[in-house]
Amino acid sequence: MDTVHLISSSLFIQSKGRRYTYNSISSVKSLQKRTVLSVSSVLTSQGGDMILPEGTCNDLNFTFDFKSYMIRKAESVNAALDVSVPLLKPLTIQEAMRYSLLRGGKRVRPLLCIAANTPLIAACELVGGDEATAMSAACAVEMIHVSSLIHDDLPCMDNADVRRGKPTNHKVFGEGLAVLTGDALLALAFENMTVVSSGLVSPERTVRAVIELAKTIGTKGLVAGQVIDLSSEGLNPEVAGIERLEFIHLHKTAALLEAAAVIGVIMGGGTDEEMEKLRKYARCIGLLFQVVDDILDVTKSTEELGKSTGKDAIAGKLTYPEALLGLEKWRELAEKLSRKAKEQLLGFDSDKVAPLVALASYIASRNN
Amino acid sequence: MDTVHLISSSLFIQSKGRRYTYNSISSVKSLQKRTVLSVSSVLTSQGGDMILPEGTCNDLNFTFDFKSYMIRKAESVNAALDVSVPLLKPLTIQEAMRYSLLRGGKRVRPLLCIAANTPLIAACELVGGDEATAMSAACAVEMIHVSSLIHDDLPCMDNADVRRGKPTNHKVFGEGLAVLTGDALLALAFENMTVVSSGLVSPERTVRAVIELAKTIGTKGLVAGQVIDLSSEGLNPEVAGIERLEFIHLHKTAALLEAAAVIGVIMGGGTDEEMEKLRKYARCIGLLFQVVDDILDVTKSTEELGKSTGKDAIAGKLTYPEALLGLEKWRELAEKLSRKAKEQLLGFDSDKVAPLVALASYIASRNN
């Protein structure tokens, strides 16, 4: 039984002797059938089969040149994204889509989708077949990500002025067009994935990928995370509790990274077992991504990150490091999540999973 | 060649001796591969193969009890929609989705999807098989429609207070949640359609339906219509011209009705020829729907319609009847569109297309 319920009390930190209860997530049925990994299960090492012996990861290949790989794949993704939004009429909306989609962004999600696809594709790396089967899905995941960023940045939501080092979409194009730009990117993700995949991937697999992507966007994923995030503004961290924080991070961040990896596996024709391993891997690096993000938010400036920082604290919003545990404990958690992610990759061809191993290390050590 | 380009100048009214040009729609490449029917081609009877001899429709069966049919199908749709958004946590967003999705609405789009599906399904009407194959798609189309209404009603867009006889979503739940409710419904449409269809419809057909739905939402459909609608506020009708109005109506209204019918055909296993006929039919009733809507907007009160009326004129937005042609000409157009829609149904089993024939009559004569 791989499922670790989010609300299993034995897995949660009872910080300062207090048990935090939060009704809105006390019976998240939508998550029951998914593999859920909790931050606290990592911190307290009570994750059952999730914990492998220390040092097991040393067997994996760490000499992989991740920087070159990342640049190469990001260039491929950028080229595919560029083609996916041609400058047709009406021009304003296409320009708004291209503004947020094409410039900036580390392309972590598309890269994850392609990298998760790679180990499943037999003998086609030389002809680049691996990349093609996952590219439209990789672009779709990035479109969903950018769509959610545009909507989350709106004045009626997080009211952010800067994103990826430049003014947010609504600052440039106005609120109405920003709402429509998010909608258009959301729809384009499904169109792009299904149209481009036709002929490369079987319809059965394409349908599975559509289901995975759709579930990740709505009330089982991104939207749920943002809803709880919005309702948490102004709450005292200790009152809100770590469960709420974890719910937000699992839904706002980990869910889409999980979808990226799982869709990569689906497009590559992987088995259910392989899918579950990469689902767990992605969930680990999803939490890792957010833990690092929260550390950066309190330790770096707006200029260094290319987005507003310290804003969460100013708005009374919660950040992991400031709530309950402290920075040092958070750095320790990041290291554990990174190791746990890599453990899921044991059993795959070590050369082919090298990008995924390196991605976990990159996310753990990134500084912007 | 069935394609009638929107911008074919010979098809357009040169009202008051002036030819209106509008760059944003002068080369709408996204529409080039679709069957485009222009209002003016109907009014000027220059629609080529679209015009059949007067009176041809008399062969069709008009005795069908449409009211009972509509009530029965709407009940089925409402039941399916109810199941599709269970009251799970986080509750607020699910409540907001249910608020806009479940109460009110004539269910014209789902009904069209089911009715278009019916003629294609062989010998399974008795066991209700016809409805089941199209029901998840019918619900998906309604979810997309409601999603677009919620976003269009936002203060940063049309700033509407009333929709379907009750306060708009953002008035009840706030702007941030209204944006997220629209997003969640948009995603749920794809999830619902693909999950529920699995086992009932082949993956090939499901993928085709996903592509059709996705294209309809974004910059080739709803979003494009709303973008041009927003940019038209405050323009003098005579300066804006009928082409712009037509672009808005074709994209904001006709596109989704077209998708509803086409997806019904796809789910029912129809041929390409059948799909093209029902695509044209739906485009006719899409324009018809809007023409009637515009007539109602200037002739009925807010109380009678259950939504704000006369608002368009107050906001300086264009309405068909007031721009260029006058009410009487508009009523004439409605009649012609209704007849033209019905002409597309010739050749189908007259009993099975009875709902579609009746739907055209209903849309032409509706008074709210």
Question: pLDDT tens digits, residue range A19-78?
Answer: 222 233 333 333 333 334 555 554 443 332 222 223 333 334 456 788 899 999 999 999
* Closest residue on chain A to B85 (Cα): A219
Three-class secondary structure of residue A50 per DSSP: helix
Average pLDDT of the segment spanning A120-137: 66
Instruction: Provide the mean pLDDT of chain A.
Output: 78
pLDDT the model gives residue A227: 96
Task: Classify residue A120 by its DSSP letter.
Answer: G
pLDDT the model gives residue A286: 93
Closest CA to A215 of B233, B110, B187, B306: B187
pLDDT the model gives residue B309: 52
Query: For chain B, which ranges sit under pLDDT 70?
Result: 1-63, 121-130, 237, 301-324, 368
Kindly list the residues from chain A whose CB atom is less than 8 angstroms away from the CB atom of residue B175: 156
pLDDT the model gives residue A365: 84
Q: What are phi and psi of B27, to 5 degrees?
A: -145, 65
pLDDT the model gives residue B87: 85
pLDDT the model gives residue A7: 25
Question: pLDDT tens digits, residue range A139-194?
Answer: 999 999 999 999 999 999 999 999 988 999 999 999 999 999 999 999 999 999 99
Q: Residue A280: which pLDDT band, with cuts at 50, 70 and 90?
A: very high
With pLDDT > 90 as the criterion, what percentage of chain A qualifies?
A: 50
Average pLDDT of the segment spanning A229-248: 82
Amino acid at A286: G
pLDDT the model gives residue B315: 53
Are A194 and B180 a contacting pair at CB < 8 A?
no
Of A156, A179, A207, the CB nearest to B207: A207
Question: Chain A closest CA to B367's CA: distance in Å?
Answer: 31
Locate A4 and state its tokens.
């670790």
State whether residue A97 sits within 8 Å of chain B by CB.
Answer: yes
Between positions 170 and 209 of A, the ones with CB within 8 A of B are: 174-177, 179-180, 182-184, 186-188, 190-191, 194-195, 198, 202-204, 206-207
Task: Classify residue A52 by its DSSP letter.
Answer: P
- Considering Cα of B151, then B152, then B157, then B163, what sign does the dihedral take? negative
Q: Please check the confidence at residue A84 and state whether its pLDDT lies above 80.
A: yes
Kindly list the residues from chain A whose CB atom is less than 8 angstroms away from the CB atom of residue B231: 90, 92
Break chain B down into helix, strand, coil percent, rounded to 5. Answer: 65, 0, 30
The Cα–Cα gap between A23 and A98 comes to 40
For residues A325 and A33, the model is more confident at A325
Task: Classify residue A163 by its DSSP letter.
Answer: E
Query: B104 has which bridge partners?
Result: none
pLDDT the model gives residue A101: 97
Kindly list the residues from chain A whose CB atom is less than 8 angstroms away from the CB atom of residue B188: 214, 218-219
The residue assigned the tokens 């290390």 is A361
Mutate to test the interface with B, among A210, A220, A251, A266 (most CBs of B within 10 A): A210
pLDDT the model gives residue A293: 82
Average pLDDT of the segment spanning A340-347: 93
Are A219 and B88 a contacting pair at CB < 8 A?
yes
Sequence-ordered list of residues with C-beta below 8 angstroms from that of B52, at least 6 positions apart, any chain: B343, B346
Catalogue all structural domains in chain B, each as residue range(s) with its CATH number: 31-365 (1.10.600.10)
State whether residue B232 sits within 8 Å of chain A by CB.
Answer: no
